[in-house]
Amino acid sequence: MVKQITYGVSGGLPEKTYQGNDNYLSATQMTDIYTTALADIWGERNRDGFYGRMGDNEPLLRQEILSSSWMMQEISHIPVLYDQGQAFTMGSNTLCSGRKDGKRFINRVPFRGTAYRLTDTETCASVTYQDLTSLLNFAGAEFFIKTLQELFYSSVSLDILRTGFNGTHAAVNTDPEKYPMGGDINTGWHETARKYNSGSQIITDNFTLGAGGDFSNIDELAQHVINEKIPQPLRERPDLVVLVGYELAAHDRARLFSDADKKVTLSGMERMQSQVAGRFAFIPPFMPGKRLTVTTLANLQVMTGIGTQRLKVGWNDDTKTFDHYYIRTEAYALGDPLMYAATDESAVTLTKAGVADKQPEANTPPVEVADTPEAAD
């Protein structure tokens, strides 16, 4: 039986916490449980709480972070030696096979990656004494260690995605209240594309989406983005995906329901199965709600300086919190900026979805899109 923790009227913390088996642990002992478990992986800490430079363990640490999110495993994470440089495409985006009569066939592979600049970046997941106590008493030390690790790795992973989709600049002192989505942590992927070639890959001209608008649905919009912004040799890549902002997705779903009195089309069925313009589509976390992006996930790159990753874990007496730091130099880039095309969220106006006037016909069979004029509505 686990004894409930009761804090004093003054709000003070007990010196020790009950673990359910007559063993009382101080705050230091609680944190030692966790730090000792990490030491088995990363080596002993120094007196400042640092586990030292990760060295050969850097890839292992990165793998632990990537495992917390499937999308993090699909984007490119590249260790780099220098603070500044140019990204590159993983693999060739051009036709490299052919022949020449009497000579060798040659096709030079272009390197169009955007420039990057590493900046110091710190992630700190801080847990109060009360929360540490509740967690340890909930299910014991093993669960305590596992939960703290998952919390920290998830924090790092999600912050990388926040910054990648919303980052506009790298401030000397970040302000999480002014930029809650990490806009001042680093220059993210969309901002990098906006600055490339005078913004040629981003649609910024105002348009309306919905019935009676410039584009009736996100399928039309996505196909327009592909045709207008992605070069022909890259359009048929099987790994191109459509990233749809949550507001666009909600608007299109509302349109599908408002068209319930019409025949079911293969186009509509595809949208219900996470396909847009014939390509895999999903709503990525933290991307602005009115943005639509077409790219490959591998084209989204995160650079980390080799030898810069450090962990710091320990109890902070000044704040009465358990602090878990991940310190590194980091940058964001596009392997091939021509393989990134998007609509800017500031350019989109959503029209109101129509309202169905009658009930849908029962058991309407699906028909080919080409046979139904409603497919483009």
Give the structural domain span for 361: 200-298+339-376
Return mean pLDDT, the chain: 80
Q: Are the beta carbons of 116 and 84 closer than 8 angstroms?
A: yes
Q: Percentage of the chain surpassing pLDDT 90?
A: 46
Give residue 260's pLDDT. Answer: 43
Task: Kindly state whether residue 155 falls inside one of the protein's structural domains.
Answer: yes
Task: Kindly state whether residue 72 falls inside one of the protein's structural domains.
Answer: yes
Give residue 364's pLDDT. Answer: 41
Domain check: are 278 and 289 in the same one?
yes
pLDDT greater than 50 at residue 303 = yes
Q: Kindly report the CATH number assigned to the domain that includes residue 142.
A: 3.30.2400
* pTM, entire model: 0.80
Using a 10 angstrom Cβ sphere, with 0-12 exposed, 13-18 middle and 19 or more buried, the burial of residue 363 is exposed
Contacts of 304 (CB under 8 A, 6+ apart): 58, 62, 77, 78, 79, 80, 328, 329, 330
pLDDT greater than 50 at residue 183 = yes
Task: Kindly state whether residue 187 falls inside one of the protein's structural domains.
Answer: no
Q: Which amino acid is at 240?
A: L
Q: Is 174 helix (H, G, I), strand (E, B) or coil?
A: coil
Q: Is 93 helix (H, G, I), strand (E, B) or coil?
A: coil
User: Which tokens go with 357?
Assistant: 């006037």
pLDDT greater than 60 at residue 356 = no
Residue 313's pLDDT band, with cuts at 50, 70 and 90, is confident
Cα–Cα distance, 266 to 251 (Å, whole number): 19
Domain check: are 260 and 164 in the same one?
no
Cα–Cα distance, 57 to 228 (Å, whole number): 44
Domain check: are 169 and 317 in the same one?
yes
Say which residue, 222 or 375, is predicted with more confidence.
222
Task: Kindly state whether residue 191 falls inside one of the protein's structural domains.
Answer: no
Task: Kindly state whether residue 5 falls inside one of the protein's structural domains.
Answer: no
Residue 294's pLDDT band, with cuts at 50, 70 and 90, is very high
- 3-class SS shares of the chain: helix, strand, coil, % to 5: 35, 25, 40
Task: Kindly state whether residue 281 falls inside one of the protein's structural domains.
Answer: yes
Domain check: are 226 and 357 in the same one?
yes
Q: Are the beta carbons of 333 and 108 closer than 8 angstroms?
A: no
pLDDT greater than 60 at residue 354 = no
| Total structural domains within the chain | 2
Tokens 């495993």 correspond to what residue? 73
pLDDT greater than 50 at residue 30 = yes
Domain check: are 50 and 132 in the same one?
yes
Pairing of strands 241-244, 292-295: antiparallel
Residue 10's pLDDT band, with cuts at 50, 70 and 90, is very low
Task: Kindly state whether residue 105 falls inside one of the protein's structural domains.
Answer: no
Cα–Cα distance, 191 to 169 (Å, whole number): 8
Average pLDDT over residues 251-269: 55
Phi, psi of 147 (to 5 degrees): -65, -40
User: Which tokens go with 251?
Assistant: 């608007």
pLDDT in tens, 123-167: 999 988 888 888 777 767 778 788 888 889 999 999 999 999 999
Domain check: are 284 and 159 in the same one?
no
Q: Are the beta carbons of 148 and 324 closer than 8 angstroms?
A: yes
Using a 10 angstrom Cβ sphere, with 0-12 exposed, 13-18 middle and 19 or more buried, the burial of residue 186 is buried
